[in-house]
Amino acid sequence: MADPLRPLSFATLLQRFFAEHLTRHRSVSPRTVAAYRDTFRLLLLFAERRISKAPAAIALDDLDAPLVLAFLDHLEAERGNGARTRNARLTAIRSFLGYAAHHDLSALPAIQRTLAIPTKRFDRPMLGFLSRNDMQAVLNAPDARSWVGQRDRALLTTMYNTGARVSEIIGIRVGDLILDGAPCVHLHGKGRKQRTIPLWRGTATLLRAWMRRLDGPGTANGPLFPNRDGRAMTRSNVTQRLALWVQTAAVHQPHLLGRRISPHTIRHTTAMHLLQSGVDITVIALWLGHESPSTTHLYVEADLEMKERALGHLQPPNVTVPRYRPPDALMRFLQSL
């Protein structure tokens, strides 16, 4: 029988962290579990080389700040990971240590020093997005007379309409699409979060035509955008199809050839066009599934046209702004009230 006063081993804590804490208690998504799993596989292999201990023999005290810092440096220097990946790995380690701190008080000082490791700051690149003409050219590029072309036109139009992440797009099932009444689609987002996005009339028309062409449309759990084998498209499938249609659209929009356009570019484009149309930034945050509107503020920073309009309202300090004078007696009366 286990001694209730004896701290659990590192191996036991890690297994319970994945089997109970993440899966049962927090109900995190399979993608999060996979990302955390990969972090600890890399960390344990690194620790084995660094301190000459097999993963099963590692103690919680071994995961001290110097070891974790050396691991993070290893990720950048030897594996070529950027600051985003480094920070994501650190987040996984912090999550486990926060859990372990409740089960082994003797390791608390070492855990606190490791938890104090800061995330690394990095430069955010300027967001790339397409103009309305460029976006329309890409949407028109697929030949809807073929099965693949019709699927791709419906796929790209849905991506633009919803601003969905590529993982959300390939995760749409037939049963997630509502075309009766007010057309909409249910998206399954990050962290098991779901949201419903209304569909434009043109998008709904394309999807109705695609549903008639789709093999086995009665299967609610089937993918809305399958590959030729009937399985859901992959990220690489979507990226390759988009690249093909960008090349086709470049016949009429040659400047597209010199740009890197990914599925995430379409998401940025949706957000930017909503913003330029006067949609409130908090609504855009809900549309995109952002946890905080602060993330959406990046689109305001990237929109040069909005900045130019704001500049037009701002007079240089050395320019005398003429005082407003009512044009006639009635206006002067109203102004005096």
Q: 52-96: per-residue pLDDT in tens? A: 999 999 999 999 999 999 999 999 999 999 998 999 999 999 999
Same domain, 144 and 47: no
Which helix H or strand E contains 335, and what residues bound it? helix 329-336
CA 7 to each of CA 24, 45, 60, 102, 107: distance values in angstroms, whole numbers, following the listed order: 22, 24, 10, 10, 9
pTM across the whole model = 0.64
Let me know if residue 337 belongs to a domain: no
Same domain, 90 and 19: yes
Let me know if residue 274 belongs to a domain: yes
CA 87 to each of CA 55, 120, 296: distance values in angstroms, whole numbers, following the listed order: 23, 7, 21
Domain ranges, residue 58: 10-115
Same domain, 290 and 260: yes
Let me know if residue 318 belongs to a domain: no
Q: Are the C-beta atoms of 276 and 268 separated by less than 8 Å?
A: no
pLDDT average, residue stretch 115-141: 85
Question: Which amino acid, 164?
Answer: A
- What pLDDT, on a 0 to 100 scale, did the predictor assign at position 23? 86
Same domain, 153 and 280: yes
Let me know if residue 298 belongs to a domain: yes
Q: What is the CATH number of the domain that holds 54?
A: 1.10.150
| Mean of pLDDT over the chain | 85
The burial of 178, by beta-carbon neighbours within 10 Å (0-12 exposed, 13-18 middle, 19 or more buried), is given as middle
pLDDT average, residue stretch 23-51: 91
Same domain, 191 and 81: no
Same domain, 163 and 104: no
Q: Are the C-beta atoms of 153 and 206 separated by less than 8 Å?
A: yes
Q: Which residue bears the tokens 């790209």?
A: 156
Q: What is the CATH number of the domain that holds 269?
A: 1.10.443.10
Let me know if residue 40 belongs to a domain: yes
Same domain, 71 and 156: no
Q: Where are the beta strands (DSSP E) in 137-279?
A: 177-178, 184-188, 194-198
Same domain, 155 and 96: no
Same domain, 107 and 148: no
Same domain, 80 and 136: no
Same domain, 94 and 186: no
Same domain, 262 and 154: yes
**Confidence check: pLDDT of 142 > 70:** yes
- List, by residue number, the catalytic residues: 165, 190, 264, 267, 290, 299
Rounded CA separation 232/211 (Å): 15
- Count of structural domains within the chain: 2
